Amino acid sequence: MFKTLTATVIFSLALSGTANAATYDDAVDNAQAGDYKAAFADFKLLTDQSDADIQYNLGNMYRNGQGVHQDYEEAIKWYIKAADQGYALAQFTLGDLYRKGEGVSQNHVTAVTWYAKAAEQGHADAQYNLGNMHCNGDGVARNDALAVKWYTKAAEQGVAFAQHNLGYMYRKGKGVPVDYVAAVKWYTEAAEQGNAKAQTNLGLMYDKGKGTLEDDSTALKWYAKAAEQGHVKAQVRLGTIYYSGEGVAQDYATAVKWYTKAAAQGNAKGQFNLGLMYLYCHDVKQDYAQTHLCWDRAPADSHEKTASNRDVGMMTPSQIEQAQKLAREWAPTKAN
């Protein structure tokens, strides 16, 4: 349902125990310089200190095959040593590995256990992922109220995905009473960080006047920001706004632009609407073959696709043949 954050493999710069600081600094310097063999040798010299930072870094090196042959069993061993000492980043990383089944058998229950340990210590990404586990019922009974609890903790620490999801929970009344004002607040927090889904949903709130005054220009601003990032729903909505002249001057060329971008990603509404533009000559040359192509690309079970639309009765046999050739050669693109 929601995007899950993944641990970014880094080398810890802190030294929590009594290990030889000079050797530890050498190890980190070597790792950051890309001399992983030297870094691995340095870290191994320090393992008798039982320092969680060293254990975590060794886990990273075994996981990624940096300075040593990749060995997930060894990586898990060192991560657990660090995690058992309360090292939140190691706990989060273990949660990630068990959630994805990376180097271990996938086990969402174990993932929840490790995410919870890190989340309780205030690790923001773990809080967000734990919220997802509760929201989706992965490794734990589905519980929207607990999802909201952990999304809130992560959102308050600035995690944009958590802010978006929290906005969604308030908008839909999942785990909390419906509260459009709160939804707008959290969508705004995430949108200002560049979260495309939040930008689209914030545009929708201004579009419909939910939780805020209806404001076409502000809605357009947020739809445009999301559409420029490739968010397909925002692209379709922008196409419709410019096609209909909702709060802006009617502009078929801009409508075609955004419908084309959405259609290229395989969106059924974008494909259908672009087909209409070609059929009725809206700022494009009438092209039955392109209309047929657009409608042929739409998913078979989409409501936009009907037999009468696909056939486009005015087409000649050669135009139908051309459209079918284009359809065979076409493949959807992905947003950046």
Structural domain contains residue 59: no
Q: Where do runs of H (alpha helix) occur along 265-316?
A: 268-279, 288-297, 307-311
**Position 210 pLDDT exceeds 90:** yes
Mean pLDDT of 77-86: 98
Domain of 257 in residue numbering reads as 230-336
Between helix 36-45 and helix 52-64 the angle, nearest 10°, is 140
Structural domain contains residue 110: no
This prediction has a pTM of 0.83
Q: Which amino acid is at 254?
A: T
**For residue 264, what are the contacts with CB-CB under 8 A and spacing of at least 6?**
332, 333
Query: 247-302, pLDDT tens digit by residue?
Result: 999 999 999 999 999 999 989 888 888 887 877 765 555 555 565 556 566 654 44
95-128 in b/e form (b: 16+ CB < 10 A) is bbbbbeebbbeeebebbbbbbbbbbeeebbbbbb
CATH number, domain at 297? Answer: 1.25.40.10
Structural domain contains residue 292: yes
Reading phi first (left if > 0) and then psi (alpha if -120 to 50, else beta), residue 101 is in left
> What is the Rg, in whole angstroms, of the alpha carbon atoms belonging to the chain?
26
Measured on CA atoms in the order 267, 273, 276, 277, is the torsion positive or negative? Answer: negative
The pair of three-digit structure tokens given for residue 256, joined into one six-digit string: 């075609």
Structural domain contains residue 260: yes
Structural domain contains residue 334: yes
Query: 143-157, pLDDT tens digit by residue?
Result: 999 999 999 999 999
Structural domain contains residue 321: yes
**For residue 164, what are the contacts with CB-CB under 8 A and spacing of at least 6?**
186, 187, 190, 195, 197, 198, 201
**Position 331 pLDDT exceeds 70:** no
**Position 5 pLDDT exceeds 60:** no
What is the number of domains present in the chain?
1
- Are 262 and 239 a contacting pair, CB within 8 Å? yes
CA distance linking residue 126 with residue 120, whole number of Å: 9
The pair of three-digit structure tokens given for residue 233, joined into one six-digit string: 């729903």
Q: Which amino acid is at 174?
A: K
**For residue 331, what are the contacts with CB-CB under 8 A and spacing of at least 6?**
none
The pair of three-digit structure tokens given for residue 64, joined into one six-digit string: 């990624």
Structural domain contains residue 180: no
Mean pLDDT of 20-44: 88
| pLDDT given at position 268 | 86
Kindly state the percentage of the chain with pLDDT values over 90: 69
| pLDDT given at position 292 | 57
**Position 330 pLDDT exceeds 70:** no
Looking at per-residue pLDDT, the higher value among 68 and 9 belongs to: 68
Structural domain contains residue 208: no
In the three-class reduction of DSSP (H, G, I as helix; E, B as strand; rest coil), residue 81 is classed as helix
